[in-house]
Amino acid sequence: MKRVINFNAGPAAIPLEVLEQAQSELLDWKGTGMSVMEVSHRSKEYEEMHNHAIAQFKELAGMGEDWKILFLTGGASTQFLMLPMNMLGEGKGADYLVTGHWSKAAVKEAKRFGPLNLTSVEGEGGSFTRIPKQAELKLDPKAAYVHMTSNNTIFGSQWQYWPEVGKVPLVCDMSSDVFSRPFPADKFSMLYAGAQKNLGPSGVTVVAIKDSFLAQAKEDLPTMMSYKIHAENNSLYNTPPCFSIYILDLTLAWIKKMGGLKAMEKINDEKAKILYDAIDASGGFFKGPVEKESRSKMNVVFRLPSLELEEAFVKDAKAAGIIGVKGHRSTGGIRFSIYNANLVENVKKSVDFMKEFQKKNG
């Protein structure tokens, strides 16, 4: 069996222990004589696992009884739609903090449903290289919510502070850095995350929503678009994406075993430091476009002196067993996505490769 160092941006690396457990019980899960894929979503065994995943999520996030955890589908892109559909309406608008590609995509869907008030840090040519400062945020105290994207997968920037938004509910798309560090759950009214970066495989989106915010959701909506219906049915109104939820549950158990969010933050800080130090010490051979205080600890993006060198870098990395380092097609460049499942060792090996590459080509 071959295993590579996997810096894919999502779907992304999954802890080896999680995959090994899934493999070992793929034909006979929990002694049921069935694969977890073959078990009814109304069975005792399935519901136990489903509720275990919810309980683990709440425990890791430090969320109390006043939170509902939903397992939905359609990725964060579907939340871009469901959130305003549930919460906005005539004269009921929202604030959007626009820090990258996915924030913009969220705005595109939301503006169908109500007036939006934007704080954007978009630069020339559609680039994003920083997170706005607190003083820059244009906030409307009457907004139904404030929407932010905690980490920008494509541009490689990340909020390194949590904004103050007064009494307005704060909603966060945490798709690409959820559970990579502790966060003050009390500051938020909702967060959501596609699982395929830090939490498992694609196919499930976690939506965590506070009861007080859920109470604001509209009643008369198409069934599958209604937060209230999904919450009332514990995400079992219809058949959920059972296998993805199962891998999510195993991944949450792995995070717990690693020591929880504080321990993950320590590891992620160390990984990011090793990479950014290597970039900063390269004498300009590797160059990060993002302002230092806004750098992402999940997606480390940088450029090389030429497109040819960037191509050679990707090719040589692959030959060295390091894959997924090509930047997003909209930005080009190099990107290392160092989500939770990539441990320090992988990053150290990659920095050795970077130094070697610079020595040969610098």
Interface residue list for a copy of itself (CB under 8 A)? 1-4, 6, 8-14, 16, 19-20, 22-23, 26-28, 31-35, 37-42, 73-78, 80-81, 85, 105, 108-109, 112, 194, 196, 200-204, 222-225, 237-244, 247, 321, 323-324, 329
Distance of closest approach, residue 268 Cβ to a copy of itself, in angstroms: 18
Q: Which is nearer to a copy of itself, 65 or 220 (CB)?
A: 220
Catalytic (active site) residue 102: yes
Residue 49, C-beta contacts closer than 8 angstroms, at least 6 positions apart: 36, 245, 246, 249
Q: Is 290 helix (H, G, I), strand (E, B) or coil?
A: coil
Active-site choice (67, 102, 159, 254): 102
Of 13 and 190, CB closest to a copy of itself? 13
Nearer to a copy of itself, 46 or 213 (CB): 46
Shortest Å distance, C-beta 84 to a copy of itself? 9
Is residue 80 within 8 A of residue 110, CB to CB? The reply is: yes
Catalytic entry in 68, 95, 159, 173: 173
Residue 283 and residue 37: Cα distance in Å, rounded?
52
Report the 10 Å Cβ neighbour count for 243.
17
* DSSP code of residue 294: G
Closest contact distance (angstroms) between CB of 1 and a copy of itself is 5
DSSP per-residue string spanning 13-65: ---HHHHHHHHHTSSSSTTSSS-GGGS-TTSHHHHHHHHHHHHHHHHHHT--T
Catalytic (active site) residue 197: yes
Q: Which is nearer to a copy of itself, 236 or 258 (CB)?
A: 236
CB of 31 to a copy of itself, least distance (A): 7
Neighbours of 275 (CB within 10 A): 23
> Which ranges in the chain belong to alpha helices (H)?
16-24, 44-61, 75-87, 101-110, 211-214, 227-232, 242-258, 260-280, 307-319, 344-361
| Count of beta carbons in the 10 Å neighbourhood of residue 260 | 16
CB of 261 to a copy of itself, least distance (A): 22
Shorter beta-carbon distance to a copy of itself: residue 77 or 216: 77
C-alpha 26, offset from chain centre: 27
Nearer to a copy of itself, 329 or 360 (CB): 329
Find the shortest distance in angstroms from Cβ 3 to a copy of itself: 5
87: Cβ contacts below 8 Å, ≥ 6 apart: 94, 144, 145, 216, 217, 218
Measure Cα distances from 5 to 14, 46, 84, 155, 342 in Å: 11, 33, 39, 22, 8
Backbone angles phi, psi at 222, to 5 degrees: -55, 140
Catalytic residue list contains 254: no
Catalytic residue numbers, as ranges? 102, 173, 197
